[in-house]
A and B are shown apart, each in its own frame.
Chain A
Amino acid sequence: MAIKAVLSSADIDRALMRISHEIVEKNRGSDEILLLGIPTRGTYLAERIGIAMGKAMGKSSSEPIPVGTLDITLHRDDLRSKPPRALTPTRIPGESIDGKRVVLVDDVLYSGRTIRAALDALGELGRPALVQLAVLVDRGHRELPIRADYVGKNLPTSHDEVVRVSIAEVDGEDFVAIVGANQNE
């Protein structure tokens, strides 16, 4: 079955670098930014963006951009359709998210249901000043009124294709590919 690579390792680096600069620009270099990655791959993307943002803002390594991770499993709307899922850790740096400018980071934006669950999970933790969304790939087909503030790559796809994001920390190498119809990983 056809696998079509759409982003190389260098493309991913450039996309994340641009997103980092956009976040800094849009938030005017605010100190209140908090990056929260959605496991598994969003967590690592958030860490990379945090490092790039630190460089863009000229921060010293002693005060890096706070990066955390937000598990959404318990807020999913499709829990009953599959056997129980394993929980992944939630780590919130600092005291709380109250008053912070939270940027959610995920690998692929598709139906929007994951982000809806993430917004619910955030509501349980506190009241951020605002919430923004950064994704590496937006593949369309939204099922909810949700859009990303920062997009690495808009990728028009059909429903029966699968977008595969591979990143070094989890999968050993960086690339994004479209896997042909009816093929799961």
Chain B
Amino acid sequence: MSNRSDVLAPKLSRHLLTISDLSREGAIHILDTADELARVSDAPIKKLPTLRGRTVVNLFYEDSTRTRISFEAAAKRLSADVINFSAKGSSVSKGESLKDTALTLQSMGADAVILRHSASGAAHRLAQWTDGVVINAGDGTHEHPTQALLDAFTLRKHLKGALGEDLSGVRIAIVGDILHSRVARSNVLLLSLLGAHITLVAPPTLLPVGVHDWPVEISYDFDEAIGECDAVMMLRLQMERMKSAFFPSAREYSRLYGLDRERMKKSKKNPLILHPGPINRGLEISADCADDVDSVILEQVANGVSVRMAVLYLLLGGSHE
């Protein structure tokens, strides 16, 4: 085996903290790897020995259903040992800091830490303190790289299809609470890196300062924006992060920026419907749209496992010396 010609994967950075660390080639390679690993989810035996003996810690300071379970399933399908940590019921309530918690986990032999934290930049700080690999699973309103990767994977699968392809020529509208959305930030970086055309649709109060410098088009009119797009990505209204009034009423928001059947009729291309979840049915998206045939919301969840397997394999599956 030693003299087999080995094709090495394009070099990635040691951690996955932000999409801006990825090259276009590296991002496409993650998607291609996920495509191969998706096969495992269809196999009779959903298990590979690849990460046997590695320990992965899910360090979650914020609530999560999808991301945590998805990472756990991905790590287990690759035979890694998984330790789940949630801040509730741990020594965090006794006042233990992120640094001390991380160092404790490291002494227990964690090879990778998957961090979800309410503070933007938490994953960056953690990466400076630990020797292991750090994967950002959402930090405040900053980034959520694996969500963007699974969204790109889902879009590519439906709109392009082949391995090695990017998303050039694809038009995507990202709609809703851009201001508080780490999903939107990671997606803007990744989808534009892959050549997609992005339109952000939101009321002016829910757009961040400096958004005009992003590689996107801005629209305040969903009816107009939906016309040409191949996919719409609806974002959840993050009420838990809203400390002041951003729009007059939920009903008005829903009428102007929610997705429903009437609005879908205004599109020319029957766009794919994406949503990172959890869904507020009847607020940003109507129930019949969420369950529509063009909705790929549940497929996004399934693809999330494949994409996270790819990330774990590429960051933990070899030596980085």
Q: Is B242 an interface residue (CB 8 A)?
A: no
Are the CB atoms of A185 and B7 closer together than 8 Å? no
* Distance between B158 CB and nearest chain A CB, rounded to angstroms: 20
Are the CB atoms of A113 and B1 closer together than 8 Å? yes
Contacts A71-B36, A74-B49, A126-B44: A80 and B7 contacting too (C-beta < 8 A)? no
Task: Give chain B residues whose Cβ lies under 8 Å from the Cβ of A117.
Answer: 1
* Distance between A37 CB and nearest chain B CB, rounded to angstroms: 14
Total count of chain B residues near the partner, CB < 8 A? 33
Are the CB atoms of B318 and A120 closer together than 8 Å? no
* Distance between A121 CB and nearest chain B CB, rounded to angstroms: 9
Contacts A71-B36, A79-B318, A111-B2: A86 and B8 contacting too (C-beta < 8 A)? yes
In the complex, A89→B320 CA distance in Å? 24
A69-125: which residues lie under 8 A (CB-CB) from chain B?
71, 74-90, 96, 110-111, 113-114, 117, 120, 123-125
Are the CB atoms of B50 and A79 closer together than 8 Å? yes
Q: Is B317 an interface residue (CB 8 A)?
A: yes
In the complex, A113→B3 CA distance in Å? 12
**8 pairs, A vs B, C-beta closer than 8 Å:** A74-B313, A77-B1, A80-B318, A81-B319, A82-B8, A84-B317, A110-B1, A185-B5
Using a CB–CB cutoff of 8 Å, the interface residues on chain A facing chain B are 40, 71, 74-90, 96, 110-111, 113-114, 117, 120, 123-126, 162-163, 184-185
In the complex, A71→B36 CA distance in Å? 10
4 tightest CB-CB pairs across the interface, nearest first? A84-B318, A113-B1, A87-B36, A74-B50
Q: Is the interface of B mostly helix, strand, loop or mixed?
A: loop
Are the CB atoms of A83 and B44 closer together than 8 Å? no
Are the CB atoms of A124 and B47 closer together than 8 Å? yes
* Distance between A72 CB and nearest chain B CB, rounded to angstroms: 9
Q: Is B4 an interface residue (CB 8 A)?
A: yes
Q: Is the interface of A mostly helix, strand, loop or mixed?
A: loop
Are the CB atoms of A74 and B320 closer together than 8 Å? no
Are the CB atoms of A86 and B7 closer together than 8 Å? yes
* Distance between B182 CB and nearest chain A CB, rounded to angstroms: 26
Task: Give chain B residues whose Cβ lies under 8 Å from the Cβ of A111.
Answer: 1-2
Are the CB atoms of B6 and A85 closer together than 8 Å? yes
In the complex, A80→B315 CA distance in Å? 11
Are the CB atoms of B47 and A80 closer together than 8 Å? no
Are the CB atoms of A86 and B48 closer together than 8 Å? no
Task: Give chain B residues whose Cβ lies under 8 Å from the Cβ of A120.
Answer: 49
